[in-house]
């Protein structure tokens, strides 16, 4: 998809202005569309942010600075809404 979908514009408009991913939507609409589609799925969204921002293969060019900054801000905002719960050893032993 070479342009943001209508639902992506709707999703972005509901975000606070300081985290609206305008550069992302212009430069990488496919990624913006995917983020909008999984926004309400915290596990998938946390994983996708990691995939976008962590170079596990060692050969990625990375995003242009404005897009990278938007992704970082968007991830921080999302983490505030949906903190990733990490299991502790005590939590795991209680389940046994």
Q: Residue 89 domain-assigned?
A: no
Q: For residue 91, is it within any domain? A: no
Q: Is 34 within the bounds of a domain?
A: yes
Which domain range does residue 44 map to?
A: 6-84
Q: How many domains does the chain have?
A: 1
- Whether 96 is in a domain gets the answer no
Indicate whether 96 pLDDT > 50: no
**90 assigned to some structural domain:** no
Q: What value does the mean pLDDT take over residues 15-31? A: 97
Query: What pTM does this model have?
Result: 0.81
Once rounded to an integer, what is the mean pLDDT over residues 51-58? 80
Residue 92 included in any domain = no
Axis crossing angle, helix 42-53 with helix 65-81, rounded to the nearest 10 = 150
Span 75-88, average pLDDT:
79
């Amino acid at each position: 998809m070479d342009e943001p979908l209508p639902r992506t514009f709707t999703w972005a408009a509901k975000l606070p202005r300081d985290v609206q991913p305008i550069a992302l939507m212009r430069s990488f609409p496919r990624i913006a569309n995917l983020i909008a589609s999984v926004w309400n799925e915290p596990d998938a969204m946390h994983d996708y942010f990691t995939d976008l921002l962590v170079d596990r293969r060692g050969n990625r060019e990375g995003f242009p600075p404005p897009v990278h900054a938007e992704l970082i801000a968007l991830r921080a905002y999302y983490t505030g809404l949906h903190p990733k719960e990490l299991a502790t050893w005590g939590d795991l032993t209680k389940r046994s």
